[in-house]
Amino acid sequence: MPSEYYWSFFIGIFAGTMTGLMGASGMMAVVPGIILLGYSAYQAIGVSLAVDVIASAIVAVAYYRHGRVDLSRGLWIAVAAIAGAQLGSRLIFRVPETGLSGGFGVLLIVTAIFFWRDGIGYGGVGPAIERFQTSRIGEWLATYPRFVSVSLGLIVGIISGMFGVGGGIIFLFALLMLGYRLHVAVGTSTMIMALTTFSGAIGHAMMGNLPYMIVVFAAAGTVLGSVVSARFANRMNEQMLSKAIAVVFAVLGGILLFITIWQQ
């Protein structure tokens, strides 16, 4: 059996662990890993979307059992994101293959520092979220929940289809700004991701961007990482979860920057 299958299994474990801890897309782990195995960035993005479907669904179910998924609003976002993902998957070939991940790497490292230093709960970004909610923009957005949900889903869906990211990081921050507690934001974002990445994966499969055996092994690792990390995350308080997110962001940011430099 080719060694790339074993490596894709371990990549899947890492991606599943990341998804379970913070509801963020496994793209940040899968895409760089699959590129290092010799596949094109387009194929890596297709694999990422397919793996994210499984990881997100498993984590979403775990959070739903703890009452931490907002179906009523999350489904509005997901429907728009599905449409956006189909559009994004057809726009991907307009983006140069080299350097797709570098910008994400910088963003993740900066975010990791912020999360580690300030956290998410009280004393962290909590006061900033409260200020936003009471601002004119926040109050205006609160009066049009469906418009905000559909607009957010469409934009993130396009990004998902183009870059293989399920939108978990973006959804996580957006839901926090809309007033969600951290665990509910994580649970809801993974539910949205599951539906969005399924749509994007179908689009990439239709264009021949899915090496199926790599998907199988990466998905198997993802199942293991998702189940274990989701159970662990639901037992953590918000301060501990913030630290865990910071560590994951820092590691992934370094990997993405390395990939970008290596490609150049």
Q: What number is the average pLDDT over the span 131-148? A: 75
The pLDDT of residue 122 is: 44
The pLDDT of residue 240 is: 73
Q: Which residue has the tokens 């496994």?
A: 26
Least confident among 64-68, 237-241, 247-251: 237-241
Query: Rounded distance, CA 131 to CA 124, Å?
Result: 13
User: How far from each other are the two terminal CA atoms of the chain, in whole angstroms?
Assistant: 31
The pLDDT of residue 74 is: 79
Q: What number is the average pLDDT over the span 237-248? A: 71
Q: Which residue has the tokens 């649970």?
A: 187
Residue 163 pLDDT class (50, 70, 90 cuts): low
Q: For residue 246, how far is the Cα from the chain centroid? A: 15
Least confident among 16-25, 48-57, 110-119, 148-157: 16-25
pLDDT at 70 over 60: yes
Query: Rounded distance, CA 68 to CA 196, Å?
Result: 19
Mean pLDDT of the chain: 75
Q: What number is the average pLDDT over the span 67-75? A: 82
Torsion of CA 219, 81, 145, 132, to 10 degrees: 70
Q: What number is the average pLDDT over the span 242-261? A: 74
Three-state SS across the chain? CCHHHHHHHHHHHHHHHHHHHHCCCCHHHHHHHHHHCCCCHHHHHHHHHHHHHHHHHHHHHHHHHCCCCCHHHHHHHHHHHHHHHHHHHHHHHHCCCCCCCHHHHHHHHHHHHHHHHHCCCCCCCHHHHHHHHHCHHHHHHHCCHHHHHHHHHHHHHHHHHHHCCCCHHHHHHHHHHCCCCHHHHHHHHHHHHHHHHHHHHHHHHHCCCCCHHHHHHHHHHHHHHHHHHHHHHCCCCHHHHHHHHHHHHHHHHHHHHHHHHHHC
The most confident of 18-22, 163-167, 186-190, 247-251, by mean pLDDT: 186-190
